Amino acid sequence: MIVWVTGAGSGIGKAIASHFAAGGATVVASGRHADILDTFATEARDKGWNVLAVPCDVTDADSVRAAHARMVDASGPVDVLVNNAGTTVFTPFVKSALADFDRLVATNLRGPFVCTQAVLPSMLERRSGTVVMVNSMAATHVFPDSSVYSATKAGLKAMTDCLRFEVRKTGCASFQACIPASHQHRELILGGRPIGSARNTPTR
Ligand SMILES: NC(=O)c1ccc[n+]([C@@H]2O[C@H](COP(=O)([O-])OP(=O)(O)OC[C@H]3O[C@@H](n4cnc5c(N)ncnc54)[C@H](OP(=O)(O)O)[C@@H]3O)[C@@H](O)[C@H]2O)c1
């Protein structure tokens, strides 16, 4: 089984990639930093896992298409895509920068769209394949200073729901996993203050 995990060099993506690799899958690990991915692939090899480092930037459609071509050449068609790469910033609506809005949309919403479009034709042809979106409770719940991040995750939820409907009779599947904010993440967002009072808290 070939599993492509975006944002696999750290955090939740690395944990997902490790889980699949430990289970015997061939994992394609993507992210923007080749050195981080190479280190992960080397660590994985030492454990007897099969992890292929294929860097790409999900905000760059050409980079995604080139990476997809490389992984198909090296390992064959992708069976499972995990759209995990994501980024955020927590800022009051009125202070949110347009550049941050564009970056978050490009990474959290357009990125999964571009990656899914790369793998889906082959999945539909083979009548087999799964696309997983790593989503957030922010798609459906209110978090302070999270209007931009929440908008991208709500958009991702809507896109996933429509995709699931479209592919429901094709043998392919698409679903999302909504990750609750971790305790540490929540502390970072709220800075120990009550919900609704956080201002200019750090990004992660
Ligand atoms: N942590 C939480 O509490 C939490 C809660 C809910 C949802 N989530 C979601 O879970 C996912 C992973 O979050 P995390 O906490 O594990 O974040 P993280 O530790 O910051 O990891 C994000 C990963 O995405 C990669 N990435 C970022 N921008 C990219 C781009 N343009 N192209 C390719 N890769 C990119 C990063 O690698 P490079 O920088 O090397 O590219 C990094 O490996 C995200 O979608 C996030 O929204 C997290």
Please indicate whether residue 33, judged by its CB atom, sits closer than 6 Å to ligand 1. yes
62 vs 15: CA distance, rounded Å: 27
- Position 17 confidence tier, pLDDT thresholds 50, 70, 90: very high
Q: Is residue 200 part of a domain?
A: no
Q: Is the pLDDT of residue 149 over 80?
A: yes
Which position has the higher pLDDT, 25 or 174?
Answer: 25
Q: Is residue 176 domain-resident? A: yes
- Tell which atom from ligand 1 comes closest to the C-alpha of 182: 3
Structure tokens at 44: 């994985």
**Atom of ligand 1 at shortest range from CA of 153:** 47
pTM recorded for the entire structure = 0.91
Is the CB of 103 within 6 Å of ligand 1? Answer: no
| Any atom of ligand 1 within 6 Å of the Cβ of 32 | yes
Least confident of 108-112, 113-117, 161-165: 161-165
Q: What pLDDT score was predicted for residue 180?
A: 61
Question: Is 198 part of any domain?
Answer: no
| Mean pLDDT value across residues 134-147 | 92
Separation of CA 36 and ligand 1 centre (Å): 14
The rounded percent of the chain whose pLDDT value lies above 90 is: 79
Residue 132 has pLDDT above 90, yes or no: yes
Q: Is the pLDDT of residue 198 over 60?
A: no
Residue 126 lies in a domain: yes
User: What per-residue confidence (pLDDT) applies to 177?
Assistant: 74
200 CB within 6 A, ligand 1: no
Within a domain: 204: no
Calculate how far, in angstroms, residue 10's C-alpha sits from the geometric centre of ligand 1.
Answer: 7
Residue-wise pLDDT tens digits, 67-98:
999 999 999 999 999 999 999 999 999 999 99
Average confidence (pLDDT) over 19-31: 97
- Residue 124: its pLDDT value, please? 94
Active site residues: 149
Whether residue 165 is contained in a domain is answered as: yes
What total number of domains does the chain contain? 1
| Cβ burial, residue 66 (10 Å; 0-12/13-18/19+) | middle
Average model confidence (pLDDT) across the chain: 89
- Domain that residue 110 falls in: 2-190
pLDDT tens-digit map of 100-109: 999 999 999 9
Grade residue 200 by pLDDT with cuts at 50, 70 and 90.
Answer: very low
Residue 196 lies in a domain: no
Percent over 70 (pLDDT), the chain: 87
Whether the CB of 11 sits within 6 Å of ligand 1? yes
**Which CATH number covers residue 94?**
3.40.50.720
Give the tokens for residue 142: 């209110």
Residue nearest to atom 18 of ligand 1 (CA): 11
Q: Angle at Cα 89 formed by Cα 84 and Cα 92, nearest 5°?
A: 140
Instruction: Tell me if 84 is assigned to some domain.
Output: yes
